[in-house]
Chains A and B, each alone.
Chain A
Amino acid sequence: MRYREALNEALREELRRDETVMLMGEDIGVFNGAFKVTAGLLEEFGERRVRDTPISENTIVGMGVGAAMSGLRPVVELMTINFSLLAMDQIINSAAHIHYMFGGQARVPLVIRMPQGAGHQLGPTHSHCLEAMYLQVPGLLVATPSTPADAKGLLKAAIRDDNPVIFIEHESLYGQRGEVPEDPDHVVDFGSAAICREGDDVTIVGISRMALTAQRAAEALAAEHDIQAEVIDPRTLRPLDLDMICGSVRKTNRCVIVEEGWPHGGVGANLAALIQEQAFDWLDAPVARVTGADVPMPYSKPLEQIAFPHEPQVVTAVLSTFRDV
């Protein structure tokens, strides 16, 4: 099953399971979704539950918050993560803070889905990876699935959870295939990372699509350098399964973090700080980071391709942690 089909199945099953689940977003109905994630859902569930909206990101999210506060479990789709910047006010000032700000009186069981990522030559307004921005906000949960099974299981968990969830998909993964459990209650818990590949020599943490890049790099490291890398996909960035990551680092004594987003204040910057706080004595080398280039995403293909990480950079970063051995 493809990643987009897994997401579609999660939405379909949750819409069937719970009458209060409803979808809102730009072109999710008649058009079947800009990336076809919502294909066929309008047909099955009708206009009441699958709603095409005008292009009004901040208001769509705000209405989702209001509806979530008074009995619904809305799933809002934003066409790309760059467009979510128009909704930043409602995401942070409203969705994330309402439960706390009102002393626990209100809940916001809202899911905001959005794809991110480069590789399709969409230039500086449609291609970024901004999970680090949302990771920073207390009150939000942040999911970044990299496989079809996780996409489905995490989306179902997100819909069932009582907190607002930023659910970050990746444009390049929609066509990715993988095994997906058929169990309609297949739910992946938030805060539980996945070990994608076991190894004793170095821990590579890959975020979103970079979990796959990290796995390919790990195979190259094994084949060409006799290095067995353990690859971890955190799957959710908030909450974070720091236990698993630090447990792996204590075993391998080396860590490389791979993300597609910008380096300053990035996921890796944050995670490196947490690892040095939690596992400093076990580290044999500084935590290394591989990130997207510190530039707005360029349109031109050769430039775009060097602006986000590929396997060779990951291999180089891993080797750098062995430099002094």
Chain B
Amino acid sequence: MAEHVVEASPNIEGPRPLPAADAARDWLAAMLLIRRFEERAGELYAKALIGGFLHLAVGEEAAIVGAVRALRDRDYLISTYRSHGHALARGTEPERVMAELMGREGGVCRGRGGSMHMFDGERRFLGGYGIVGGNLPLGAGVALASDYLKRDEATLCVFGDGASNQGTFGETMNLAALWRLPVVFLVTNNQFGMGTALARHSAVTDLMRKGESFGVPGMRCDGMDVVETEAVVAEALAIAREQRQPMLVEAVTYRFRGHSMADPEEYRTREQVAEWRKRDPIDVFGERLEAEGVLEPSAREALDADALERIDAAAAFAEQSPFPAPESLYDNVYVLGDQVRGWYSVDERAAGVHRGEDERALAERKRRAGNGEDGG
């Protein structure tokens, strides 16, 4: 199977060249948007406007934006429960992402998914998934459909270092390589599987090598460097598309905040966090753009102000968006068609049963019957 093995290009010494000025500004703006979004989400969580689990990606912005900018519009992206940033980078309106966090009807998933389950089908972002490692087979399946239907598309499947220990990791690498699917697996190595450090959860800490025995060559990028991340992921995507060789890219990064909002961070030192914060991907990239004359300091500040303004608008929209109506509880449990009839679900509230018909129509009939109108 030697012909299946691709030599991953070694990391280039020194920083990679910047992209065109417009692109560089866009990348910085996208990272700032994610940073400000996550910070605001943390605040709103503390005010109990957001419930459940909230996993922030502060510190991982370059790994997100670099990877997403390596995709073409027709490529697919699939991610994890830490995916507000992926939705935002793909272009989903921050309003709809924030409304989803607040469980509102105006959210991307109408408040059904919440923070861990983003989705934007129009932008080919096929979801955030709450089960560690659960999205790997899905990503390979999406690539299978692209391959089967002979469509010029690739899939980028993002997961964390912790997911590399799941059975689906090996199973999916094997199948993707066996069937030569156009998929790139991006392991976001943020150093911890929840609170367990990489060296304590993975016998092989050189994560880019973890796919090799399954026929998936690895590449590594500095996930704190948006330019390098974009370049390496783009190269991997080209190999996957053109040579039908799935690739594993390891983006080495760090999350500055806890695993979720419910994390006392007893597994790492403040010094370690402070050390990584010196490499803040937004500061580093912003300073480089200034140093190389791409961006005036005032323009950099203006980008940040724009981001804050968009987040203000997003939070305002989300707070005003209504909660889903109770009668929408059964919406979209099934795709309703002509062939499927009968009783689907027990309705605990009505002590009756559902036929899978639109719950809203049912409520409307009850309302009319209550008003003495013909219930139909």
Residues of A within 8 A of B (CB): 20, 22, 48, 51, 53-54, 56, 58-72, 74, 89-90, 93-94, 98-107, 138-139, 141, 157, 160-163, 187, 189-192, 236, 238-243, 274, 277-278
Closest to B78 in A: A66
Partner among B109, B138, B175 whose Cβ is within 8 Å of the Cβ of A103: B109
Closest Cβ of chain A to B104, distance in Å, is 11
Counting residue pairs across A and B whose Cβ atoms lie within 8 Å, the total is 190
B334 with A139: CB separation less than 8 A: yes
Distance between A113 CB and nearest chain B CB, rounded to angstroms: 17
Q: A58-B171, A59-B175 are in contact. Are A99 and B332 (CB under 8 A)?
A: yes
Q: How far is the CA of A90 from the CA of B166 in the complex (A)?
A: 13
* A54 x B146 contact (CB < 8 A): no
A139 to chain B, nearest CB (A): 6
- 15 A-B pairs besides A59-B136, A63-B138, A99-B333 with CB distance below 8 A are A20-B149, A54-B171, A67-B141, A69-B142, A72-B144, A99-B335, A139-B333, A160-B339, A161-B340, A189-B340, A190-B341, A191-B343, A238-B344, A239-B342, A239-B344
Tell me how far the C-beta of A29 lies from the nearest C-beta in chain B, rounded to whole angstroms.
13
Q: Which residues of B contact A192 (CB under 8 A)?
A: 341-342
| Residues in chain A near residue B302, CB distance under 8 A | none
Q: Taking the complex as formed, is B108 at the interface, i.e. its CB lies under 8 A from any CB of chain A?
A: yes
Q: Hey, which chain B residues are within 8 Å of A243, CB to CB?
A: 342-343
Minimum CB–CB distance from A163 to chain B (whole Å) comes to 5
The answer, among B119, B129, B351, for a CB contact under 8 Å with A94, is B129
Give bound CA distance, A270 to B148, whole Å. Answer: 41
Q: Which residues of A contact B334 (CB under 8 A)?
A: 99, 139, 141, 163
Pairwise interchain contact B141-A64, C-beta atoms closer than 8 A: yes
Instruction: Say yes or no: is B139 at the interface (Cβ < 8 Å to chain A).
Output: yes
Query: Which B residues are in CB contact (< 8 Å) with A187?
Result: 339
Chain B residues closer than 8 Å to A65, beta-carbon distance: 137-138, 141
Is B175 in contact with A157, judged by CB distance below 8 angstroms?
A: no
Taking A58-B167, A59-B171, A161-B337 as contacts, is the C-beta distance between A102 and B119 under 8 angstroms? yes
Selected contact of A72 from candidates B108, B120, B138, B149, CB within 8 Å: B149
Contact of A90 among B137, B337, B340 (CB under 8 A): B137
Interchain CB contact under 8 A, B356 and A239: yes
- Does B223 touch A at the CB level, under 8 Å? no
Answer yes or no: B322 CB below 8 A from chain A CBs: no
* Interface contact A54-B142, CB-CB below 8 Å: no
B 333-376 binary contact with A (CB < 8 Å = 1; else 0): 11101011111111000010101100000000000000000000
Cβ of A103 and Cβ of B110 under 8 Å apart? yes
A160 to B340, CA, bound (A): 11
Q: Please, how many angstroms separate the alpha-carbon atoms of A67 and B121 in the complex?
A: 14
In the complex, the chain A residue whose C-beta lies closest to that of B127 is: A102
B96 to chain A, nearest CB (A): 10
A139 to B137, CA, bound (A): 20
- Interface pair B76/A70, CB less than 8 Å apart: yes
- B137 contacts A59, CB within 8 Å? yes
Q: Which residues of B contact A100 (CB under 8 A)?
A: 112, 332-333
Whether A101 lies near B117 (C-beta < 8 A) is yes
Interface centre among A70, A74, A236, A238 (most CB of B within 10 A): A70
B134 located at the interface, meaning its Cβ lies under 8 Å from any Cβ of chain A in the complex? yes
CB neighbours of B131 from chain A (8 A): 89, 93-94
Pick from A68, A69, A93, A106: contact of B130, CB below 8 A: A93
Which residues of the other chain, A, contact B140 by a CB distance below 8 angstroms? 59, 62-63, 66
Residues from chain A with a CB closer than 8 A to the CB of B175 are 53-54, 56, 59-60, 63
Contacts of A189 on B, CB cut-off 8 Å? 339-341
Q: Which 7 pairs, one residue from A and one from B, show the smallest C-beta to C-beta distance? A: A66-B141, A191-B342, A62-B137, A239-B342, A63-B141, A59-B171, A103-B110
A80 to B: closest C-beta gap in Å: 19
Rounded to whole angstroms, the CA-CA distance of A62 and B171 in the bound complex is: 11
Q: Is B174 an interface residue (CB 8 A)?
A: yes
- Kindly list chain A residues whose C-beta atoms are within 8 Å of the C-beta of B332: 99-100, 103-104
Taking a contact as CB atoms under 8 Å apart, the answer to whether B108 and A274 are in contact is no
Question: Which of B119, B168, B339, B346 sits near A161, CB closer than 8 Å?
Answer: B339
Which residues from A are CB-within-8-Å of B107?
Answer: 103
B97 at interface (Cβ–Cβ under 8 A)?
no
Q: Which of B119, B144, B168, B353 contacts A58 (CB 8 A)?
A: B168
Instruction: Provide the residues of chain A in CB contact with B340, threshold 8 Å.
Output: 141, 161, 163, 189-191, 239
Q: Assuming A56-B171, A90-B134, A105-B109, is B126 touching A69 (CB within 8 A)?
A: yes
The contact sample of 17 A-B pairs, CB cut-off 8 A, is A51-B179, A58-B171, A60-B175, A66-B143, A67-B145, A69-B138, A102-B121, A103-B119, A138-B344, A161-B335, A161-B339, A192-B342, A239-B355, A239-B356, A243-B343, A274-B346, A274-B353
State whether the Cβ of B172 lies closer than 8 Å to any Cβ in chain A. yes
In the complex, are the beta carbons of A70 and B145 less than 8 A apart? yes
Decide yes or no whether B152 CB sits under 8 A from chain A.
no
Type the 1/0 row for B314-341, where 1 means its CB is closer than 8 Å to any CB of A: 0000000000000000011111010111
Nearest residue (CB) in A for B140 is A63
B144 near A162 (CB under 8 angstroms)? no
Residues of B within 8 A of A64 (CB): 141
| Chain A residues near B129 (CB-CB < 8 A) | 93-94
Take A54-B175, A161-B340, A192-B341 as given contacts and tell me if A103 and B146 are in contact as well, using a CB distance cutoff of 8 Å. Answer: no
Known pairs A93-B134, A277-B351; A59 contacts B148 (CB<8 A): no
Q: Which residue of A lies closest to B138 (CB)?
A: A66
User: Which of A56, A64, A68 has the largest count of B CB atoms less than 10 A from its CB?
Assistant: A56
Report B-chain residues with C-beta under 8 Å of the C-beta of A105: 109, 119-121
Interchain CA distance A277-B110 in the complex, whole Å: 33
B178 within 8 A of A: yes
Q: Chain B residue with minimal CB distance to A72?
A: B145
A66-B142, A67-B145 given as contacts; is B109 within 8 A of A102 (CB)? Answer: yes
